[in-house]
Amino acid sequence: MPDYKAPLREIKFITNELLDWPSHYASLPAYADVATPDMVDAIVAEGARFCEQELAPLNRTGDMEGCVRNEEDGSVKTPTGFKEAYSKFVEGGWPSLAHDPEHGGQGLPESLGIIMSEMVGSANWSWGMYPGLSHGAMNTIDLHGTQEQKETFLTKLVSGEWTGTMCLTEPHCGSDLGILKSKAEPNADGSYSVTGTKIFISAGEHDMAENIVHIVLARLPGAPEGTKGISLFIVPKHLPNEDGTAGERNAVSCGSLEHKMGIHGNATCVMNFDGAKGWLIGPENKGLNCMFTFMNTARIGTALQGTSAMEASYQGALAYAKERLAMRSLTGPKAPEKAADPIIVHPDVRRMLLTQKALNEAGRALVYFAAQQNDIVKVAESEEERKQADELLSFLTPIAKAFLTEAGCEATNLGMQVYGGHGFIAEWGMEQLVRDTRIATIYEGTTGIQALDLLGRKVLMTQGASLRTFTKIVHKFCKAESGNKAIAGLIKPLNKINKEWGDVTMKIGMSAMKNRDAVGAASVDYLMYSGYIVMGYFWAEMAKVAHEQLAAGTTEEDFYKAKIATANFYFNRILPRTQSHAAAMLAGPGSVMDITEEQLAVL
C-alpha cells in the first residue's frame, strides 16, 4: 500500500491563504472563540497523526479480510483492528468535534470536521464510512427530532457510543423512492412497527459500537402514493432503556452482506425490519423532505471520497515515478549514473501525475469552499448571509458530488497506470483505490441523478438564478484581476468560458421547451462542463495567491511555483475538455433518443 501522509501544507494553503478561514471563523460569533488558529492547527495535526498511524495501516487489511456475517444471528464482524481503531477514535473525541455542546459536542465548525473526514478517507475510506454515516443521522435528528429524541439518540450519536445509518433503497427501487414499499403501523404507545427490506445499507450491522440508529423511510397507512406519502422513522438496533443505555434487541437484522467490487472493509447490508419498533421523526408524509438533510450531508461527504482517493493515489504514483527506472529521456539521460532514467522524466508520466495533482488540489478547494458556505448557513447571524450561502451551496453540491467522484475515478486509474503492470497487482494498493473509489459515482445519487438535479432543478427551474450565484463570483474576480499581468493567461479564458456558460445554458433551456428529453440528454455533459469551469476558477485564484507570495518574498518558492505550473497545466490541458462537453450537450436529444429499443437490442 502507498504510505499515506496527510497533506498538511496543502490543507493550510487552502484554508489559510486561499479561503482565509481564520477571518471566516472570527466573523462567526459561534466559532470566534473556539476555532482559533492555534486550536485549528493542533486539531488538524492530531487528526493527521491518527489517520497516518492508526487507520492507514488497516486499509489493506480491511480489503483482504472484508466483513464476516454470523449465519446464526446475523451479526457482523469487522476486519482486524477496525473495532480497536474506532474505540480510539471515540476516546479522542473525534465524533463530537463539530456538534452542538448542548448534546455533548465540542461546538467546532463543520468545515473543520471536513478536514478530518478528508484525511480519514485517504487513509482508510472503508473504516471512515462507519462514523461518517453518523453525521447525517445526527444532523437529521438535530433539525427534525423532538427534544426527547435528541436526548435519547442524539447524545449517544454525538459521543460516538452509537453509530447511525440511512435506510432508503429497496430491492425494487433505487433512486425512485416514490415506489418504496416499507410500511409503518402505529402502536398504542405512540411508536410504530416498521416492516420492510432495505438494501445497500452501508454500516448497517457491525461490532464497532454498542448500538446502531437506523434512519428509515416507510409509508404510514393510507399515505398518498409516490414521494408525497413517505415518512421518516428512527429505528434502533437495540431499544433504549430508561437510563439511556442500549437494551432489548429490536426486530431489525442483517439478512446478508453484499459482495462488492470494493470498500470490502465496510459492511454493506441487506437489512430486514420485521415489525421493528421505531419513532416518527418530523411530520407525517414529509419524510423525504427531512431525509434530504441526511442526503445533502452525505453528498458533500461523498465528494470528499473523490478528493481523498485522488490524494492517496497521487502520493503512491509520485513516489513510484521517482524511483522506477525505465528507458532514457527523449532529451538525453537525466540519471546517467543509473541503468535508466526514473519514469518521472517522461512526458506522459508527467501528464498523468499533473492531471491527478490538478484535479485533486482544485477539488480540495471546492469541497472546503462548500464547507465554508455550510458554516455560514448554520451559524451566521445575518439572514441574508445565510440565504446567499445556502443558494450557493445548493448549486455547488451536485457538482462537488458528481464531478469530484468522476475525477476520483480518473485520477485513481491514472495512478494505477503510472505503475504499469505493477499497478494491477494487489500488493501495491493502487488497484484497491480504483475499486474503492468506483462506488462513489453511484451512491448518494448517481452522476446522472446529480446532473438532472443541477441542470433541471437548480438551473432551469430557477431560470438561471442558481447558476448566476456562482458566475457572478467568477465575473467579479475576472474584472478585479483584469489588469493582473501575472495571471493574464488565465483570466482571459476563464472570463470567456464564464460568459459561454450562461449562453449554452440558455440554448439548452430553449431546446427543452420543445423537447423535454433535451435536459436528460445534455445533463451529464452539462455537469462535467460546469465542474471544469468551477475548478478553473479555483486554479486562477490559487495562481493569484501563489504569485502574490512569490512577489512578497518567500522561503517556499518551489511550493508556490508548483501551484503556478499546475494552474497553467490545468488551463492548457484540462479546461479545454469543456469544448467537447459543450458540443455534445448542444447536439440535442436526437442522437440519443432516435434509436428504438428494438434497434438497441440488435446484436
Residues carrying an active site annotation: 444
Q: How far is CA 353 from the centre of its chain?
A: 22
How many CB atoms are closer than 10 A to CB 259? 8
| Residues 300/400, Cβ–Cβ less than 8 Å | yes
Residue burial 128-156, b: 16+ Cβ < 10 Å; e: rest: bbbbbbbbbbbbbbbebbeeebbebbbbb
Query: Which residue, among 307, 528, 318, 529, has the nearest Cα to 409 in the 3D structure?
Result: 307
Distance CA 281, CA 40 (A): 34
CA dist., res. 456 & res. 459, Å (int): 6
Strands 231-236 and 211-218, bridge-based pairing: antiparallel
The rounded distance, in Å, linking the Cα atoms of 254 and 204 is: 7
Q: Take residue 598 and report the three cell numbers written for it.
A: 428494438
Distances (CA, A) of 139 to 134, 150, 509: 9, 10, 35
Residue 563 CB burial class (10 angstroms; 0-12, 13-18, ≥19): buried
- CA quadruple 269, 111, 494, 486: dihedral positive or negative? negative
Contact 385, 284 (CB under 8 A): no
- Spell out the residues 6+ positions from residue 260 whose beta carbon is closer than 8 angstroms to its own: 268, 439
Give the burial class of 91: count Cβ atoms within 10 A of its Cβ; 0-12 exposed, 13-18 middle, 19 or more buried.
exposed
For residues 124 and 127, give the distance between their C-alpha atoms in angstroms, rounded to a whole number.
6
Dihedral angle over CA of 391, 532, 261, 79, nearest 10: -60
Contact 356, 536 (CB under 8 A): no
- Distance between CA atoms of residues 154 and 144, nearest Å: 11
CB atoms within 10 A of CB 380: 20
